[in-house]
Amino acid sequence: MFFWELYQDRIFLIVFIIFIVVTAIQLIYYWGIFSRLSFFKGNNENARQEPVSVIICARNEYHNLQENLPLILEQDYPEFEVLVINDNSDDETIELLKMLKFQYKHLNYASVTGDMNSYLGKKFPLAVGIKSAKNDLMILTDADCKPTSKNWITNIQKNFTEDTEIVLGYGPYEKRAGLLNKLIRFDTFYIALQYLSLSLSGQTYMGVGRNMAYRKSMFMKNKGFSSLYYYKIKSGDDDLFINKVATSKNTKIEISHESHVISFPKIRLSSWFYQKKRHLTTSVFYKFKFKFILSLLAISHLMFYLCFIFLIFADFKILYIILLFVIRLTSQIIIFRKSMEKLNEKDLLYLSPLLDFAMVLINPLIYMSNLFVKQNKWKQDRV
C-alpha cells in the first residue's frame, strides 16, 4: 500500500508540473501574442486611392450573387471593377451577370467551362480572375459574402503603401439563434485571433479568402499557385499562398467594423464539421515554424483541460490548481473581451469559456477524421 501511494503521488506531481508548464505556455500566447490584436490601434491611412479589382469566384451561386453582388458593385469608391469568374455553373449565374452588366458598367465576368479546371479547388478559376484583373490592387471575396458597409473597399485599400503587398481582413458569420451558430462564430473568431495576432507579431501564416487583398504584381512574381502541392488538395488558395509569400514587412491587417464581410454559416453540425475538415487539410503544408507555433498552442490548450480535470478528481493541490485555472481564465476573458469588441463579436463573451472547452473536444475529432477521409471538389460542402 505504501509503494502504491508513493507511485500515485509521483504521478500526480508529474501531472501537476505539466499543468504548470501548459498554463504558462497558454499565458504566453494570450499576453505575448493575442494581446497584440486586443490592443491594436490601426494602421496609418494611405491618402492615395488606387484603382481596385474585386475578384469573386462563383459556382452555382445565382441566389448569393443576386443578393450580395449589388452591395459590392455599389461601394463608395472612385475607381474599381468587380470581376466574377463563373466556374462551370449550371444554374442561371451567367444570365444574372449579363443582366447586371447593363446596370453596372464596372462589372466584368469570365467563365471557366468544361475540362479547363483539372485541379482541385478554386485555384484555377481564381488564377484566371487574377490574370484578367485590370488593376494591380486586388480584393478577394466569395459570392456568399456581403460587405457590412459601402466603405469596405476604402477601408481595405487604405492600408496599401509602397511596401505593403498583402492586407488581411475579417470575415465573420451572420449572427443567428442557436448554439451551433455561436460555436461556428466563436471558432471563426478564435482562428482570426490567431492569424491576425501572429501577423501583428511579424509571423503571418494565413489569410481567409472571404476578405483579403494583395497585389497582382506580387502574385505574378511568386508564380501564383504553381507549386505542385497546391493542386493536390481542395483548399489552399488563401492560407497556403499567404503562408508562402507573406513576410514581416509586406503584410498589414484591417479589422474596422466597416471592413468586414459577412457570410452565411452552416445550419447543420455535419456540414460545419465537413467544412472544418476541409480547411484543416492545408495545415500540414505550412512552414515548419508555423506548424510548431500552432501545434504548441493546440497541445497546450488540450493538456490544460486534461490536467485540470485529472487533478481536480484526484483532489491534488486543489487550491493551486484553481488559482492557475482562474489566472488563465481571467487572462482569456480580458483578451477575448477586447478582441471581440474590435471584431464585433461581443455577444460571444459570456459563453466563451464553454465554447473554448467545446472546441478543445471537437478539433481533435476533426484532425483524426482527416486521417481517414479524403476531400474532393471545392463546392462539395455547399450545404
Of 206, 207, 199, 204, the closest CA to residue 171 belongs to: 207
Q: Which pLDDT score is estimated for 2?
A: 44
Backbone angles phi and psi of 141, in degrees to 5: -155, 180
Tell me the pTM: 0.91
Instruction: Encode pLDDT of 346-358 as tens digits.
Output: 999 999 999 999 9
Instruction: Encode pLDDT of 25-37 as tens digits.
Output: 999 999 999 999 9
What number of CA atoms fall less than 13 Å from residue 104's CA on the CB side?
22
pLDDT bracket for residue 382 (50, 70, 90):
very low
pLDDT exceeds 50 at position 228? no
Q: Which pLDDT score is estimated for 88?
A: 86
Instruction: Encode pLDDT of 240-276 as tens digits.
Output: 889 989 998 999 999 999 999 999 988 888 888 888 8
Three-state secondary structure along the chain?
A: CHHHHHHHHHHHHHHHHHHHHHHHHHHHHHHHHHHHHHCCCCCCCCCCCCCEEEEEEECCCHHHHHHHHHHHHCCCCCCEEEEEEEECCCCCHHHHHHHHHHHCCCEEEEEECCCCCCCCCCHHHHHHHHHHCCCCEEEEEECCEEECCCCHHHHHHCCCCCCCCEEECCCCECCCCCHHHHHHHHHHHHHHHHHHHHHHCCCCCCCCCCCEEEEHHHHHHCCCCCCHHHHCCCCCCCHHHHHHHCCCCCEEECCCHHHCEEECCCCCHHHHHHHHHHHHCCHHHCCHHHHHHHHHHHHHHHHHHHHHHHHHHHCCCHHHHHHHHHHHHHHHHHHHHHHHHHHCCHHHCCCHHHHHHHHHHHHHHHHHHHCCCCCCCCCCCCC
> What is the percent of the chain with per-residue pLDDT over 90, rounded to a whole number?
69
CATH of domain 52-178+204-267: 3.90.550.10
Asked if residue 382 lies in contact with residue 275, where contact means CB atoms within 8 angstroms, the answer is no
**pLDDT, greater one: 122 or 205:** 205
pLDDT bracket for residue 216 (50, 70, 90):
very high
Please, which residues bridge with residue 252 across strands? 167
The residue whose grid cell reads 493542386 is: 231
Enumerate the domain spans of the chain.
2-39+289-369, 52-178+204-267
